[in-house]
Amino acid sequence: MRRTIGRRDFFRTSAGAGLSLAMARALAAASASAAKTKAPTIGVGIGEDHEKAAIKAVELAGGIKRFVPKGAKVALLPNVQSRHPGSYTKPEILRAVIRLCRKAGASEINALSWQTVKQWEDTGLKAVLDAEGAGLRIFEKDESLFKPVPVPNGIALKEARVLAALFDHDALINMPITKDHAGNKFTGTMKNLMGLNSPANNRTFHRPNWTTDPDGIAHLDQSIVDLNKAVRPALNVVDATEFIVSNGPFGPGQLFSPQRVVAGTDRVAIDGYCAALWGLKPGDIVQIKRGGEQGLGEIDPDKAFIKEEDI
Amino acid sequence: MAASRGWRAALVLTGFLAAGAGAAPAPVGQDTLAALLPGDGAVPGWSRDGALQEYVGEDLYTYIDGGAEIYQEYGFRRVVLQDYKNGAGKSVSVEIFEMETPAAAYGMFTFKRSGKGRSVPLGSGGELEDYYLNFWKGRFLATLTGFDETPATIDGLMAVARAIDSKSGERGEVPDLVGALPAAGLRTGSVKYLKGLLGLNNVYPFYTARGLDFREAVKGDYDGGSSLIVLQYASVEARDKAWAGLKAYLETTDRFKKAGAAETAVPLFRDGKGLYAAFAPSGPRLFVGLGANPSAALAVVEQAR
């Protein structure tokens, strides 16, 4: 399904009309100077063929073999939170990543989740896993299935509880869809890792009797940053093809369609790029700002090397 | 998830028997929310697909993992979910949220609508967007989602929505505070009724400002591009305290710059995106006018005071 909010239309309604696609392009242009330095590289495939866009993004980010060693067991984490349009990772992107992993010589590929099989079926993601011969490992929300992981330099979160099955794998490919979030305004690579953390531990990200005051929201964002200190994906492949920019993270909501897939290892830089796509200022998103301040990645777009290519 | 518990499952079953038997609409109480869902055959061509689900109170976090906070802020009680399909394979998903008050249901309705949809005559108010619709009635908010925009799907959305509407005897009025927005030039679809900071920060970011603990608020956009936010406090004293805290924040944060001349009676600031914000306390209310230039921000405040 293609539903496009015209750019002009989106700019009129977006709170951050001054940024958006034009901003992302500007960031890409500005980043060219970073190419000669040891800058994080972000690959962006642009086009309505989402499978090809994903392949292009990974190629621009350095090629799949840079992230997936031959013989590796690979864990995948797409977003299956909701089946409302623009709220879950597109099946075509999952297919592309599975095929890339095979090409790199992965010995085993599994999607890990504590969401329900129905959610995987409803989003069409299970059909792709089945067709491509990848595994789907669903876990009950049983705390014994999650492994305590100390958070180095954790501020709000001292210990994460990560699906133990992750540690049976050699590499994690984090595959969120970027989208709106009513709580902290933005979902991207960092937020998506809550899908590997135990639901009970995730609940601690919200303060008791949370009244959505600024401190509560900051606590949530800090907890997300802390979780990302404990879990480091080998690669992030972000669906920025068509996503909700209102009523997130669940939808249904207003759709925006920049038709991009974004890949790389630097979660802060990637999230900053994705936020700018739809008119958000990366520094205004607490998790991105703090991620940058606390060493998770590069928030300054001039210091990232963004490679965009149409397919 | 509550639906797995025996007693609640019995309630759900009772609701379905009532719906399926075409029973006369009954007053809707907290135990009969599922009875609002059309049974098989109640909407010609459409039947239920899959099991009913229900989430109560804090369990909403299980359903809307990471997104339940805004419902909780308005005041959430429970939600029932049911999918429907027709013979051509089209699908419609239904969520009926029971909120604590009609004001909470109205608030979530306004929060979820984009203002760009088409108004539809459902419940106390409804709006059809590209592929989904929301309507509210009394304490209930119904969200129906189609998975394409074909006429068959949209017709199904509307038919199922009308069936839900007809089963509810709930009533509810738009909160009085909405009347604080001057009607002249108001884009009615833009109105957002708010109950807390999460909602407020989604319509206009005050970031880490403290002291905004208003009782309720409303925002509306006007022809010409200006907007008005009205924050209602419990008393003049509460508003005084809140305004003092907010003013101190505005004067010290790097997110806002003071823009008004010293002789201006209405404090004026400019945010990081270049928008002007005029602040006018009045009684237990604080009026905030937003505009692309100082005169637009001041004019919308003066119109409201």
Whole-complex ipTM = 0.81
Is the model's pLDDT at B221 over the cut of 80? yes
* A57 sits in which H/E element: helix A50-60
* A179 part of contact set with chain B, CB < 8 Å: no
What is the band of B208 on the pLDDT scale with cuts at 50, 70, 90? low
Give me the half-sphere count of Cα atoms (radius 13 Å) on the Cβ side of residue B140. Answer: 32
Residue showing tokens 């925006």 = A256
* Residues contacting residue B253 through CB under 8 Å, at least 6 positions apart: B207, B208, B209
When mean pLDDT is compared across A23-32, A104-113, A140-149, A289-298, the lowest value belongs to A23-32
* A254 part of contact set with chain B, CB < 8 Å: yes
Q: Which of B63, B85, B201, B213 should we substitute to test contact with A (largest number of A Cβ atoms within 10 Å)?
A: B201
| Average pLDDT along chain A | 87
Chain A 193-212, CB below 8 Å of chain B: which residues? 194, 199, 202-203, 206, 210-212
Tell me, what's the pLDDT at A39? 64
Cβ separation of A214 and B207 shorter than 8 Å?
yes
Higher pLDDT, B151 or B206: B151
Q: Which residue of A has its CA nearest to B198?
A: A212
Tell me, what's the pLDDT at A11? 31
Is the model's pLDDT at B2 over the cut of 90? no
Of A15, A81, A212, the CB nearest to B69: A212
Higher pLDDT, B1 or A59: A59
Cβ separation of A210 and B69 shorter than 8 Å?
yes
A111 DSSP β-pair partners: A76, A136
When mean pLDDT is compared across A71-85, A210-224, A284-298, B277-291, the lowest value belongs to A210-224
CB of A141 within 8 A of CB of A39?
A: no
Tell me, what's the pLDDT at A302? 80
| Average pLDDT along chain B | 86
Cβ separation of B147 and A1 shorter than 8 Å?
yes
Is the model's pLDDT at B298 over the cut of 90? yes
Residue A211 Cα, gap to closest chain B Cα (Å): 7
Cis peptide before B284 (omega within 30 of 0): no
Burial zone of B110 (CB within 10 Å; 0-12 exposed, 13-18 middle, 19+ buried): buried
Residues in B closer than 8 angstroms to A191, CB to CB, are 66
Is the model's pLDDT at B87 over the cut of 70? yes
Average pLDDT over residues A288-300: 95
Tell me, what's the pLDDT at B139? 96
Residue showing tokens 């999918």 = B83
CB of A35 within 8 A of CB of A308?
A: no
Is the model's pLDDT at A29 over the cut of 80? no
How would you label A130-150 residue by residue, b for 16+ Cβ within 10 Å and e otherwise?
eeeebebeeeeeeeeebeebe
Cβ separation of B66 and A191 shorter than 8 Å?
yes
Is the model's pLDDT at A18 over the cut of 60? no
What is the band of B135 on the pLDDT scale with cuts at 50, 70, 90? very high
Q: Which of B131, B135, B149, B194 should we substitute to test contact with A (largest number of A Cβ atoms within 10 Å)?
A: B131
What is the band of B114 on the pLDDT scale with cuts at 50, 70, 90? confident
Of B114, B131, B274, the CB nearest to A85: B131
Residues in B closer than 8 angstroms to A16, CB to CB, are 273
Is the model's pLDDT at A107 over the cut of 70? yes
pLDDT digits (tens, 9 = 90+) for B73-83: 999 999 999 99
Average pLDDT over residues A96-100: 98
Cβ separation of A214 and B114 shorter than 8 Å?
no
Report which DSSP code applies to A242: S
Q: Which pTM does this prediction carry?
A: 0.84
Closest CA to A251 of A152, A300, A179: A179
Higher pLDDT, A186 or B32: A186
Q: Which residue of B has its CA nearest to A210?
A: B69
How much helix, strand and coil, in percent to the nearest 5, is found in chain A? 40, 20, 40
